[in-house]
Structure 1
């Protein structure tokens, strides 16, 4: 089972130096991958319809693909995962180009986790329709895979149309596309089209969701296919809790677990790194 670290960007005041420090520290400690959340814009919740998500205009976010391109240049081994990129608010062909370049420049270290998000204000600002985000995401996954694999293609979809186009250079491998979310519709979508699923244990019950997802994979005729089960361990609050959650995740066949250092009162990059090191030591001790 691979071990990841969630980049704690909402608690680092947008410090650009923290990106390199944490990426290098994570690789040096022995984490297998670095995961980053995504928001292009924050928004005040004082509006109608009222926003109910966990972030406002006060939490900073770096663009994960830009951040990973930088981190790839200063690291050698560690992998990168978006967890998740809010795909339907973005132009599909542009995401295809950006993700292909990160994967090429990192020599095959990118996993693209995607989802629909919750912030309709962000969709409005980016010129996309919040109401059709689920349908658009499914079409986008199909188009991304075709752009990454075909030398020339035309595509007539509900949301995207391209006429005899090429993405050049293309990635040298099939970039994994994982889905994420907290509700049953996200699990059903992953069972149909995903290479795996990123669970947020704490925002939902990842263990119960895994049982449900396996039912859906079986219904889709995919129970024997490779399928990644990744758990962001948000509920675990101590290194011991993290190790226990990871052991339980491995027992049910999980493929990846990621440590979160956020929400614990850490006030500096050093404190986040020190806590990550403690958590990793606990994980390795109980393997």
Structure 2
């Protein structure tokens, strides 16, 4: 197996915990520099209960200073936004980026990254997965079927939809799903264009990808219709003690959890360059073809240094 089709992206550090003390406008320069260094994609995460640069605002800004890279969400909490307005915003970004947008969506999970955001948005936590799938179906209808003015699902109902801004691509931006529960794997295979999980064990990734591909084929789609991606936190640091301390600060400031707990739920690649490359290679061997890397440091200076170090690995990862 060759790695010719492997793409590498980096998460923009839009949470204030990562850029605090710096000018947030430096994030725009960070995006441009990542493209120059050879990364294939730039990503933003989402949330409303912590201080951050809003995800879609950041992508619009990044679109203006980049020309080649994919711009993506990892992952967008789609149901927390008004669905018609969100479709308009996403189509606008795709136009500004000339067709470079990829939208990964998620529904959150229990704890600080779930119910509090739903409560703040006045959206019911119950039936969130059905609401997410209906939101995506509505977006696709707005983009692809402008003559169809009605949409009636289990939860979303519209009798007179407006004419929507058309995205750059006729078929609209690809929409991926973040999740690794059995239900999420089935839904990914049935209706999504890509899959962005973060399992800590490459063996679990391999078996889950097989489930996604099987579900795709059961619904009349080709297994290759779903792009297999991976979200992972990375840190290149030769000193094990320094790596541990840096990752501990990163885990607590960004997830509110100790590092050992984060490692139980998320893919982490840390250590010297050889160790990080070998760890990520386990996932590409398991089938991942687009790696979305979150730089495991705090403070833009340290994150900039990590961007350079990870960029040096790109030829080895592809």
TM interval, shorter chain, is: 0.7 to 0.9
Matched position secondary structure for 1:217: helix
Aligned partners of 1:187 and 1:213 also within 8 Å:
yes
Aligned partners of 2:142 and 2:163 also within 8 Å:
yes
Aligned-pair CA distance for 1:225: 4.3
TM-score normalised by the chain length of structure 1:
0.85
Aligned partners of 2:10 and 2:292 also within 8 Å:
yes
Aligned partners of 2:41 and 2:72 also within 8 Å:
yes
Aligned-pair CA distance for 1:35: 1.1
2: CA distance between counterparts of 1:71 and 1:87?
A: 20
**Where does the alignment leave 5 or more consecutive residues of structure 2 unmatched?**
1-5, 234-267
- Relative to structure 2, which stretch is displaced further, 4-13 or 203-212? 203-212
Aligned-pair CA distance for 1:223: 3.9
Match of 2:66 in 1: 75
Match of 2:247 in 1: none
Match of 1:216 in 2: 215
Aligned-pair CA distance for 1:276: 1.9
Aligned pair count?
A: 267
Q: Deviations over 1:206-251 (max 9, x none)?
A: 3342233233333333344421011112311133333224433333
Q: Deviations over 1:54-91 (max 9, x none)?
A: xxxxxx33221111001111222222110110112221
Aligned partners of 1:243 and 1:279 also within 8 Å:
no
**Where does the alignment leave 5 or more consecutive residues of structure 1 unmatched?**
43-59
2: CA distance between counterparts of 1:201 and 1:284?
A: 24
* Root mean square deviation, CA, Å: 2.2
Closer/same/farther in 2, CA of residues 142 and 168 from structure 1, 3 Å limit: closer
1: CA distance between counterparts of 2:19 and 2:11?
A: 13
Closer/same/farther in 2, CA of residues 28 and 41 from structure 1, 3 Å limit: same
Aligned-pair CA distance for 1:161: 2.2
2:162 corresponds, among 138, 160, 166, to 166
1: CA distance between counterparts of 2:278 and 2:163?
A: 44
Aligned-pair CA distance for 1:116: 0.4
2: CA distance between counterparts of 1:28 and 1:218?
A: 38
Matched position secondary structure for 1:4: strand
Match of 1:45 in 2: none
1: CA distance between counterparts of 2:107 and 2:317?
A: 35
- Relative to structure 2, which stretch is displaced further, 226-235 or 160-169? 160-169
Match of 1:202 in 2: 200
1:6 corresponds, among 7, 11, 30, to 11
Aligned partners of 2:195 and 2:229 also within 8 Å:
yes
Aligned partners of 1:82 and 1:113 also within 8 Å:
yes
